[in-house]
Structure 1
């Protein structure tokens, strides 16, 4: 898909002037959490006596919620382990894997991650414009809240919705629709800021404008090929 020309994209100041609130993604948008994923997942795999997985593979699996991530990891490592794999193999192991992963992730949450440069400055700019801020992530709420607090970002958001807050996760539009309802804002005046096609697809289907950062995960694919209103290299560019 060809990259949209700069002239075809609205500039950020006019775009921000047309919105009342901003929904911000977490992993890959505000915080680089790949180190946390790598550590927790490999601790889990060691506990289950399964082969390890490297960060490059994990990065391509992140973005559709922890349940999808864990099933993708299990499929990958069980294949490496030489097992004749079917869905029943994964589902048989999944409950113990999920319990182990939750325990390890909560134990290390935030220790192997870092806030991207420009994130706080960008959030401060949005606040200074009087925009209401909500964090919406596919990460479980029990993981997201302590991470935001540990990284000093929790105070910027009046609400935080994790992947377990609604019946479905991004790229389904339901989380954005429900978040706009919770804010009491019109979808067309509520901006989504994320890092992947999940965020963009959800925003488009919900009728929200969307800006994507260029440094996130996006399943290992170039983010500039995604249909979005604007791309930024840093949240500081949200001016």
Structure 2
């Protein structure tokens, strides 16, 4: 792992693929949306996992592209988004599960005195209720979704704005995520980044992401940060 040059005062945590396995929720909502269009061959979990992470519109465009050409996608995207959102809200959190040691890791980060923010490309009307339902909201000082700012990850804007909200310079912030989106945004914002190996990353191995280290769990990330902060006292 790359040695951090500064004491770490805050962490920015991704949601889908980092704290929660949400593909099962996407699977249900997307295939119900497809049924509305008369498409009864289910999209697989594996296909969905490769499309997750760049926002709802990117996800639905990718799903539609499995059956329609570019013109067909454009013709249907508005109706498909409306249907998808209706189905997703109805089941949000029903099938998603916490990854191991997520709450333990968040608790350890808070005990270390870190401020915490969620930065996800998931829209706020999905992200907020999901965090509430899974008992995660209370760990965070701020929650920012894919519609909180004009740009989404991998653009650095969401992380830059989150650092401002947290009151910490980027060089004192670690981003925790599962994908190149998280790493690229963190690098461009000037934050450190640790990646977990169990998420989605658009079907690309996590070891190909340029990060400051791979941690098996958020609890391991908290342990590394604690050790680092003791060393720089």
TM-score normalised according to structure 2 size:
0.92
Deviation at 1:16, TM superposition (A): 10
Name the SS of the counterpart of 1:124 in structure 2: helix
Q: Given the alignment of the two structures, is residue 41 of structure 1 paired with residue 33 of structure 2, yes or no?
A: no
Please tell me the root mean square deviation across aligned C-alpha atoms, in Å: 1.3
Which structure 2 residue ranges, 5 or more long, are not aligned? 224-233
Do the aligned partners of 1:21 and 1:185 also contact (CA within 8 Å) in 2?
Answer: yes
TM-score normalised according to structure 1 size:
0.90
Q: Counterparts in 2 of 1:55-134, with a 5 A limit?
A: 55-78=45-68, 85-86=69-70, 88-134=71-117
Q: Counterparts in 2 of 1:203-218, with a 5 A limit?
A: 203-218=186-201
Deviation at 1:91, TM superposition (A): 1.4
The match for 2:151 among 168, 183, 206 is: 168
Distance 1:121 1:17, change over 3 A: farther
Write the distance in 2 (CA, Å) between the matches of 1:183 and 1:206.
14
Name the SS of the counterpart of 1:231 in structure 2: coil
Write the distance in 2 (CA, Å) between the matches of 1:154 and 1:77.
37
Q: Given the alignment of the two structures, is residue 158 of structure 1 paired with residue 153 of structure 2, yes or no?
A: no
Q: Given the alignment of the two structures, is residue 225 of structure 1 paired with residue 208 of structure 2, yes or no?
A: yes
Write the distance in 1 (CA, Å) between the matches of 2:103 and 2:165.
24
Do the aligned partners of 1:28 and 1:195 also contact (CA within 8 Å) in 2?
Answer: yes
Deviation at 1:77, TM superposition (A): 2.5
Do the aligned partners of 2:6 and 2:171 also contact (CA within 8 Å) in 1?
Answer: no
Distance 1:16 1:73, change over 3 A: farther
Do the aligned partners of 1:53 and 1:77 also contact (CA within 8 Å) in 2?
Answer: no
Distance 1:16 1:233, change over 3 A: farther
In the comparison of the two structures, how many residue pairs are matched?
221
Indicate the residue corresponding to 1:182 in structure 2.
165
